[in-house]
Amino acid sequence: MGQGESRTEEMDLAQIQDLCFVFLKECPSGALHLHEFKRIFGVQSSSLEESVFLENIFRSFDTNRDNTLDFLEYVAALHLILRGNMEDRLKWSFKMYDKDGNGKLDRQEVKQIIRIIYKIKAQSDDISTTPSQICDRIFELVDQNDDGEISLSEFMEGAQKEEWLLDLLKLDTNATTWVVQNCSKLP
Question: 4-23: per-residue pLDDT in tens?
Answer: 443 434 556 777 777 778 77
How far apart are alpha carbons 171 and 100 in whole angstroms?
19
pLDDT at residue 8, rounded to an integer: 37
Please tell me the pTM assigned to this model: 0.68
Question: 124-156: per-residue pLDDT in tens?
Answer: 445 577 888 889 999 999 999 999 999 999 999
Note the helical H segments in the chain: 13-26, 34-40, 48-61, 71-83, 86-97, 107-121, 131-142, 152-161, 163-169, 175-183
Write out the residue range of the structural domain in which residue 167 sits.
13-183
Residue 89 resides in a domain: yes
How far apart are alpha carbons 103 and 54 in whole angstroms?
20
Residue 6 resides in a domain: no
Show Cβ contacts of residue 163 under 8 Å, excluding neighbours closer than 6 positions: 2
Provide the number of structural domains found in the chain. 1
pLDDT at 182 over 80: no
- The three-state secondary structure class of 138 is helix
Mean pLDDT score, 49-76: 85
Residue 2 resides in a domain: no
Residue 47 resides in a domain: yes
- The three-state secondary structure class of 15 is helix
**Which of 97, 145, 38, 161 lies closest to 89, judged by CA?**
97
Percent of all residues in the chain with a pLDDT value above 90, rounded to a whole number: 16
Residue 164 resides in a domain: yes
Range with top average pLDDT, 27-41, 60-74, 75-89, 106-120: 60-74
pLDDT at 173 over 50: no
What element of type H or E holds 5?
none
Residue 1 resides in a domain: no
**CATH number of the domain to which 104 belongs:** 1.10.238.10
